[in-house]
C-alpha cells in the first residue's frame, strides 16, 4: 500500500503495513546518512512549514531533512501569513497547494489541521496539535525498535500529563502490538476517545492498554519509561497548579528501579529537569533521549519521502 499523496495527521489513520514502511525507510535513510551517502529522494520539491507554535526540534529536523532529501523547506510563521489575519484555512490550503508540494503544520487546534487537509490537494503533515504529536511518537517507536527489537510483548510506561504525546503513543503502541501503561493524576487522563481507538486497535494487535493513577504500577516491568513536561505549550498559566497535581509523577531513580534492569528512558524534550524527570536519570545510562531526538530527523525524512515522492 502506497502512502504517496496521503496526509499524515494521526497514527490511528495508518495501517500496520504503512507504519512499518515508515520505520523501514527511516532505518535505510539513517544508515545511508551514517555512511555519508546522498539520498535525494525529493529533488526540486518544496515543503511549506506553518508554525503557530515555536519549536527547536520540529523546525530544524524538517528543514534539514528536506535539504538532505534534495528539496527545500519554507518557514512560514503564522503571524506573517494571511491566515494569521483571518484568512479562512480553506483558502490558505488551496493557495498553498498551487505553490508547494507538501505542508507541515505545528499549531494548537487539531480541527484546523483536519480542515487544512480537507481542502488541500497536497500532503499535510501534522507537526503537532494540542491533541496529537504523531511525528514524535513515530520517532519514539523507531528508537524503541533500535534498542529492543520486536516490540510485541514489550511494555512502555508513560508517566505524566495525559497530553498530545501520550495520545499518539497510545495510537502507535496499539498498532504495533506493544503494551502501554499510562499513569496520570486523576484529572489529567489521556483523551477518552483516543483511549477507545487504542483499545480497538489493541484487540487486533494483541497489545494491552492500561490507564492508571499510580506511576509505580505503570513502571513495573517496563522496557521503556517515557515522560513529558507537566505543562505543555499553551498551558504555562497552569504551571503552579500542575506542579502540585503532578508531585510524584516523576521519572527518577526509584521509578527506574521498578522497571526492567535494561529499560530505556525517553523524553520528547524540552525537559524541565527536576520536575518530570531528574537530572541524574536524564544523564544516566538508561537515557536514550538524544538518540530519540536525532531520530525525529530520520523518521520525518521517511514520512516526507513516502508522502511527497
Enumerate the active-site residues: 106, 133, 136, 228, 268, 296
Q: Is 228 annotated as a binding residue?
A: yes
Q: CA nearest 271: which of 257, 281, 260, 286?
A: 281
HEC states along the chain? Answer: CCCCCCCECCHHHCCHHHHHHHHHHHHHHHHHHHCCCCCCCCCCCEEEEEECCCCCHHHHHHHHHHHHCCCEEEEEEHHHCHHHHCCCHHHHHHHHHHHCCEEEEECCCHHHHHHHHHHCCCCEEEEECCCCCHHHHHHHHHHHHHHHCCCCCCEEEEECCCCHHHHHHHHHHHHHCCEEEEECCCCCCCCHHHHHHHHHHHHHHCCCEEEECCHHHHHCCCCEEEECCCCCCCCHHHHHHHHHHCCCCCECHHHHHHCCCCCEEEECCCCCECCCECHHHHCCCCECHHHHHHHHHHHHHHHHHHHHC
Q: Is 232 annotated as a binding residue?
A: yes
Q: Is 41 annotated as a binding residue?
A: no
Q: Is 133 annotated as a binding residue?
A: yes
Q: Is 164 annotated as a binding residue?
A: yes
Q: CA nearest 288: which of 106, 140, 163?
A: 140
Q: Is 269 annotated as a binding residue?
A: yes
Radius of gyration of the chain (CA): 19
Q: Is 233 annotated as a binding residue?
A: yes
Name, in order, each residue with C-beta under 8 angstroms of 128's C-beta and a sequence gap of 6 or more: 53, 55, 58, 106, 107, 135, 136, 164
Q: Is 56 annotated as a binding residue?
A: yes
Q: Is 106 annotated as a binding residue?
A: yes
Q: Is 207 annotated as a binding residue?
A: no
Q: Which residues are annotated as a binding site?
A: 55-58, 82, 106, 133-136, 164, 228, 232-233, 268-269, 296
Q: Which residues are annotated as a binding site for L-ornithine?
A: 164, 228, 232-233
Q: Which residues are annotated as a binding site for carbamoyl phosphate?
A: 55-58, 82, 106, 133-136, 268-269, 296
Amino acid at each position: 500500500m502506497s502512502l504517496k499523496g496521503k496526509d499524515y495527521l494521526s497514527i490511528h489513520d495508518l495501517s500496520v503495513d504503512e507504519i512499518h514502511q515508515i520505520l523501514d525507510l527511516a532505518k535505510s535513510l539513517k544508515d545511508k546518512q551514517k555512511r555519508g551517502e546522498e539520498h535525494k529522494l525529493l529533488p526540486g520539491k518544496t515543503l511549506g512549514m506553518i508554525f503557530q507554535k515555536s519549536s527547536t526540534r520540529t523546525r530544524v529536523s524538517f528543514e534539514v531533512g528536506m535539504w538532505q532529501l534534495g528539496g527545500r523547506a519554507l518557514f512560514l510563521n503564522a503571524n506573517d501569513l494571511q491566515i494569521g489575519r483571518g484568512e479562512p484555512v480553506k483558502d490558505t490550503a488551496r493557495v498553498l497547494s498551487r505553490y508547494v508540494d507538501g505542508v507541515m503544520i505545528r499549531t494548537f487546534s487539531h480541527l484546523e489541521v483536519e480542515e487544512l487537509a480537507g481542502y488541500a490537494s497536497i500532503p499535510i503533515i501534522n507537526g503537532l496539535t494540542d491533541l496529537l504529536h504523531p511525528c514524535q511518537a513515530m520517532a519514539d517507536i523507531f528508537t524503541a525498535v533500535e534498542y529492543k527489537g520486536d516490540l510485541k510483548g514489550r511494555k512502555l510506561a508513560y508517566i505524566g500529563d495525559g497530553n498530545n504525546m501520550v495520545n499518539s503513543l497510545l495510537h502507535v503502541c496499539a498498532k504495533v502490538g506493544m503494551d502501554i501503561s499510562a499513569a496520570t493524576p486523576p484529572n489529567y487522563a489521556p483523551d477518552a476517545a483516543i483511549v477507545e481507538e487504542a483499545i480497538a486497535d489493541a484487540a487486533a494487535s494483541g497489545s494491552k492498554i492500561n490507564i492508571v493513577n499510580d506511576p509505580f504500577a505503570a513502571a513495573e516491568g517496563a522496557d521503556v519509561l517515557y515522560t513529558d513536561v507537566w505543562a505543555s505549550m499553551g498551558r504555562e498559566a497552569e504551571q503552579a497548579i500542575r506542579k502540585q497535581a503532578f508531585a510524584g509523577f516523576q521519572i527518577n531513580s526509584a521509578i527506574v528501579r521498578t522497571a526492567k534492569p535494561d529499560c530505556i528512558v525517553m523524553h520528547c524534550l524540552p525537559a524541565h529537569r527536576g520536575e518530570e524527570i531528574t537530572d541524574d536519570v536524564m544523564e544516566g545510562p538508561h537515557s536514550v533521549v538524544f538518540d530519540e531526538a536525532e531520530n525525529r530527523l530520520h523518521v520525518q525524512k521517511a514520512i516526507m519521502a513516502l508522502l511527497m515522492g
